[in-house]
Amino acid sequence: MTEQVFLGGGGEDYGTPQGLALKYANRHGLIAGATGTGKTVTLQILAEGFSNAGVPVILSDVKGDLSGLAKPGSDSHKLHGAFTARAEKIGFADYGYHACPVAFWDLYGEQGHPVRTTVAEMGPLLLARLLELSEAQEGILNIAFRLADEEGLPLLDLKDLQALLVWIGENRSELSLRYGNVSTASIGAIQRRLLVLENQGGAGLFGEPALALSDLMRCDASGKGMVNILAADKLMAAPGLYSTFLLWLLSELFEELPEVGDPDKPRLVFFFDEAHLLFDDAPKALIDKVEQVARLIRSKGVGVYFITQNPADVPEDILGQLGNRIQHALRAFTAKDRKNLRLAAETYRENPRFPTEEAIREVGVGEAVTSMLQKKGVPGVVERTLIRPPSSQLGPITQQERAAILKASDMAGKYDTPLDRRSAYEILAQRAQTAAQEAETSEAEAEESPQPMAREFNAARRYSGSRVSRSTSRTSRKKDTFTSAMSEAVIKELKGTTGRRIVRGILGSLFRGR
């Protein structure tokens, strides 16, 4: 089975091997089924199969059960007899217990190596999705990212973005003329959403050192692919953060990996558990982005597998690109359930031995309706398949075992200590400090000036003429009788109402805005 990931046995007596061809594993897939039907175990045996074939895997551990991939199964396990009996029934002669090379990751840095990215790498579209911003608020976020590029302000962590938003609010009048209306109310709303994200622990996601994708695409010394497990049991309390992080990771793979065409096996397989969280209330722009990534990322050697309860959770345009399908049982208690069941059955290539809709409703725990891509990428006939038992431990490992794996990992120490280099927050703080010092110096110089008129002269911002000193010579004024006469006439006029208006006009224009 070197060219396939062995899934289990099908046919009349479950003795016909069913497998997922590695050549078509980058054509994406779907694992669906109601709660308690065996989706997690199916995910576990797929991860084992890809790892054995030298393909690195990324998956999220929503319930904590998948940490057992790091430890071999045991003859003393209560299901050992059932496992060996099933292996014999489906013709799995090489069945035995073994572990997979595992790397644990955690956004909170508690159950695995810390995972970080920068605000700039996340981008405004995904960040707006994470913060649940309105269209107007998303527009201001786009302005912030544009200004960060133009002003040379690196956006690394949340305090960088918060500082930049404060700066935008202080300069909103000038920025509105260039970018459109910048509302303080919208800026305040974004700041509040950032505060909520901090309270959820999301601040730890942003910063440096940022995760290097090459660390997720490693093999061990024996050539087995590394199984990268993201601890998501606590993360699921913030579903927006969970789905946005996985979507960011998928986008980064799409943007950074080179084209490889159709390889003999994938370079990486990405499992997206609880996939409905990605599409619930998602804007059309985001769904279009996911569809684009799903369509094009296969040419970069990456296979994406969505795990969800119902195929209807995945938009049709994306569902149509998932060629490899494992469908566990679906419940059909309501009219909507029956409709979804019928729609799910219609997406399979029919098998003359049984009705597909009936099979999806009746398969038991550990059994599934499968359809895998065959030669030339043609979907195979749907088959009832008894899923093979796992070779790694079924269920979680202990905290002590997890700690030992983390300590021995090649990634130990690389991401543990956060870095806080000079970025937008520090640059803007320095600008503000410099401006305050200049203002203080200017005020001090003005206070030290002995002439009150000099302070008035310095405060006249719109005055552009040259300064003329007053003459103290009386004889010079008497020499020019014509000048004296004119001066007396002007002084007399200034004593009247018209004169006072003129003075108010002149002084208002000179000293307005002091």
Separation between Cα atoms, residue 112 and residue 216, nearest integer Å: 13
Nearest to 402 by CA among 74, 108, 102: 102
**pLDDT tens digits for range 232-241:** 988 888 888 8
Look at residue 95 and tell me whether its pLDDT is greater than 90: yes
DSSP per residue over 9-45, as a string? EESTTS-EEEEEEGGGGGG-EEEE--TTSSHHHHHHH
Burial 454-480 (b: 16+ CB within 10 A, else e): eeeeeebeeeeeeeeeeeeeeeeeeee
Look at residue 511 and tell me whether its pLDDT is greater than 80: no
Dihedrals φ, ψ of 206, to 5°?
A: -105, 130
Look at residue 504 and tell me whether its pLDDT is greater than 90: no
The number of beta carbons lying within 10 Å of the beta carbon of residue 434 is 10
Give the least confident one: 282-286, 407-411, 465-469: 465-469
Give the mean model confidence (pLDDT) for residues 94-118.
94
- Out of 54-58, 287-291, 475-479, give the one with best mean pLDDT: 54-58
Task: Choose between 461 and 216: higher pLDDT.
Answer: 216
Give the mean model confidence (pLDDT) for residues 319-335.
89
Look at residue 456 and tell me whether its pLDDT is greater than 80: no
Give the mean model confidence (pLDDT) for residues 304-324.
90
Look at residue 98 and tell me whether its pLDDT is greater than 70: yes
Using pLDDT thresholds of 50, 70 and 90, give the confidence band for residue 285.
confident
**pLDDT tens digits for range 192-220:** 999 999 988 888 899 999 999 999 999 99
Q: Of all residues in the chain, what percent carry a pLDDT higher than 70?
A: 87
pLDDT of residue 381: 92
The pLDDT mean for the chain works out to 86
CA distances from 313 to 250, 273, 278, 371 (A): 19, 12, 9, 19
CA distances from 416 to 60, 107, 110, 114, 405 (A): 20, 11, 10, 6, 15
pLDDT of residue 240: 86
Look at residue 459 and tell me whether its pLDDT is greater than 80: no
pLDDT of residue 449: 61
Nearest to 469 by CA among 454, 488, 459, 483: 454
Look at residue 225 and tell me whether its pLDDT is greater than 60: yes
Task: Choose between 346 and 467: higher pLDDT.
Answer: 346
Give the least confident one: 178-187, 400-409, 502-511: 502-511
Give the mean model confidence (pLDDT) for residues 382-389.
95
Separation between Cα atoms, residue 58 and residue 69, nearest integer Å: 13
Assess contact for 15 and 24: CB atoms under 8 A.
Answer: no
Look at residue 502 and tell me whether its pLDDT is greater than 60: no
